[in-house]
Chain A
Amino acid sequence: MAAETNARWLPVAVSADILSGTVIPASLPTGPLAVWRSASGRLNATKDRCPHRGMRLSHGFVRGETLSCIYHGWRFGADGACRKIPAHPALVPPRTISCGPLPVAECNGTVWAAAKRPDHEPVAYDGYMALRSVVIAASCAAVETACQGARAHGASKTRLGGHDTLLVMNGYAPNAVLVIVLVAETMPVAGRLAISTALEALRRTVETWGRAA
């Protein structure tokens, strides 16, 4: 049953926040991950832990098509395999050394990751694009109650700042939810600003409930 829960796409970041050649930290309910984009633009995700000495790989750096750990420079490819151990330049790293790659996909300007590969691609919401993300210190249930949105294919349809939006959520800890707001691709700047402000207000409302309770 746990495996079934893990084979589920969850939003972890806004695509535009991960430029080519960079790495960021992200979270799934199963633990932290590092999401990185190679020089050629390929998106990858891995467990956020170098198998050598446990350093978070999200503190590392991207060169070409590999992610390097900041501690000892161990280099990993998109498949998670260790490509290079700088302390031993002549050594071909054993194939068994892997940083633990995770399934990752992009649609609607959103990065989706899963602890175990689901048997389908993430749901695409036609005509929508990620605007921004926010982390709310509350439970997923509290956030869903607050936005009073109708559920539609894993997203919550919610009016924010006078506009229709879709909220996708990842409750990666009992008291932390990453919310990404998707808006119409054609949304003008004024609308985007209004939605962003409304999302902040939503966050404050939910977190205030949490403190009152």
Chain B
Amino acid sequence: MTSHAMRDAWYPVGLLSGLSEGGKDSLLLGENITVFGSATGAPSVECSGRTLPVVRRFGHLWTSLGTPDKDLFTIPEADHPERVRVDVGVVRVKCSPLRAVENFLDIAHFPFVHTDILGAESHPEVSEYKVEIRDEVDEVWATKVEFFQPQAARSAGGGITTEYMYRVPAPTCAVLYKTCPPRPGAWDVIALFVQPLTEDLCDVWPWMALFDDESALTDLIHFQQLIFLQDRSILENQIPKRLPLDPAKETPTRADLTSVAYRRWLKRHNFTYGAQLVAG
């Protein structure tokens, strides 16, 4: 059995709305787990005869193989009663769970991967933004991220400059706050919860809490799935499969400061499941 810092973190293992009482086999950090639903509302997760701790939050069931030293993070903004909370579902990706998170933190790929939706080739510039590791909460934050988007959200009518904030509260989770087209001043919340199956295979559970009175739920889900499937075509074709933490292995620029901070934070905490430490 491997022993590493990531065992003590919380991970999503299923949608609360989709659990099966008979149990469903899955993997977490390479170990076999079984996820059980419950008619009485007390789902559980087992690993080699052991009952794992669980938390129900953000429409998902969360568990940990180890002993979490803190509660699963919260997203207070998402609790607003007028928001639509969207369980997008699951996308299995043959990539490192850390690469999946890093891609979510990146805006410079929008014009080329999400062409004419989240970005346009005529507007590829990434202006300066602010990145910090907030020691008091032990999270990575990027703020004042601005980008021109032809269709920022399902609810966006035309091209706008969108403002983003990114937050990494757990090694395989990231939360994005972005300008909300129908409600200036408020932030849409889009999160990426990644279940690390192995070091190069993951189940990605996107989740959203939006202000959108008009779009049908199905359309919101389709929009997010389209975006993520475009990302998958990248994620399954990066070399090496594992995220290199050796700074000499890849070539970041100013636009990649969030990814640089994320890698530094992973290294600091020994969150290296899915990472490559030595250049190879």
Contact = CB atoms under 8 A, between A and B. Distances in A.
B113 A71 contact: yes
A53 B125 contact: no
B240 A86 contact: no
B161 interface: no
B237 A87 contact: no
Nearest to A94: B251
A59 B112 contact: no
A165 B170 CA distance: 61
Nearest to A68: B112
A70 B112 CA distance: 6
Given A48-B239, A88-B125, A72 B250 contact: no
Contacts of B252: 52
B255 A87 contact: yes
B90 to A, nearest CB: 24
Interface of B: 108-109, 111-113, 121, 124-126, 233-234, 237-240, 244, 250-255
A52 B126 CA distance: 16
A87 B125 contact: yes
B239 to A, nearest CB: 5
B108 A72 contact: yes
Contacts of A127: none
A56 B239 contact: yes
B240 A54 contact: yes
B109 A71 contact: yes
A88 B240 contact: no
Given A51-B250, A71-B112, 5 more contacts: A70-B234, A86-B121, A87-B125, A87-B253, A88-B253
25 contacts: A48-B239, A51-B251, A52-B250, A52-B251, A53-B238, A54-B244, A55-B234, A55-B238, A56-B237, A56-B239, A70-B112, A71-B113, A71-B234, A72-B108, A72-B109, A72-B112, A72-B255, A73-B112, A86-B108, A86-B111, A87-B125, A87-B255, A88-B253, A89-B124, A97-B251
A69 B252 CA distance: 15
**Which 6 residue pairs spanning A and B have beta carbons closest together?**
A86-B124, A87-B255, A87-B108, A87-B126, A54-B238, A56-B237
Interface residues of A, number: 23
Q: Is the interface of B mostly helix, strand, loop or mixed?
A: loop
A72 B233 CA distance: 13
A69 to B, nearest CB: 8
A73 B239 contact: no
A59 B239 CA distance: 13
A9 B113 CA distance: 35
B125 A89 contact: yes
A82 B21 CA distance: 55
Contacts of B234: 55, 70-71
Given A51-B250, A55-B237, A87-B124, A70 B255 contact: no
> Which DSSP category, helix, strand, loop or mixed, fits chain A's interface?
loop
B250 A73 contact: no
A106 B113 CA distance: 33
B255 A88 contact: yes
Interface string A57-70: 00100000000111
A117 interface: no
A178 B252 CA distance: 35
A78 B273 CA distance: 37
Residue among A32, A71, A72 with the most chain B CB within 10 A?
A72
Nearest to A97: B251
A116 interface: no
B237 A73 contact: no
B254 to A, nearest CB: 6
Nearest to B124: A86
Nearest to A61: B112
Contact of A53 (B121, B124, B250, B254): B250
Contacts of B113: 70-71
Given A72-B109, A73-B111, A85 B253 contact: yes
B227 to A, nearest CB: 15
A159 interface: no
